[in-house]
């Protein structure tokens, strides 16, 4: 997994490539948590992410809770079909915004 971050005012864009699983989820969390203090929009660009496990979902849920508690929002963009299926099965599409 590789992660690229770009912060612009109150928006954090996070590009994830590869798999987010038990061996990489903590690294993703570490790269994000310190960046969220003054952010009201987190946009995850996932067109190059090919898998996410429950450990990765926990990281996204933690980010979602932190951002929403501050009145912000999280957008999942460019999600591949196989990864979208995971989000749908886990119920994430019920509360997270999905964009193309």
- State residue 6's pLDDT score: 97
Q: Which residue has the higher pLDDT, 74 or 33?
A: 74
Structural domain that includes position 35: 2-99
- State residue 100's pLDDT score: 83
The 10s digit of each residue's pLDDT in 3-57 is 999 999 999 999 999 999 999 999 999 999 889 989 999 999 999 999 999 999 9
CATH number at residue 37: 3.30.750.24
> Looking at the 3D structure of the chain, how many domains does it have?
1
> β-strand 2-8 against 97-99: which pairing, if any?
unpaired
The 10s digit of each residue's pLDDT in 59-69 is 999 999 999 99
């Amino acid at each position: 997994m590789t992660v690229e971050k770009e912060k612009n005012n109150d928006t954090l864009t996070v590009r994830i490539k590869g798999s987010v699983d038990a061996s990489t989820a903590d690294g993703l969390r570490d790269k994000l948590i310190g960046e969220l203090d003054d952010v009201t929009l987190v946009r995850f660009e996932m067109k190059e992410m090919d898998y996410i496990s429950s450990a990765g979902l926990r990281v996204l849920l933690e980010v979602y809770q932190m951002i929403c508690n501050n009145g912000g929002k999280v957008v999942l963009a460019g999600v591949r079909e196989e990864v979208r299926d995971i989000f749908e099965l886990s119920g994430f599409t019920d509360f997270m915004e999905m964009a193309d």
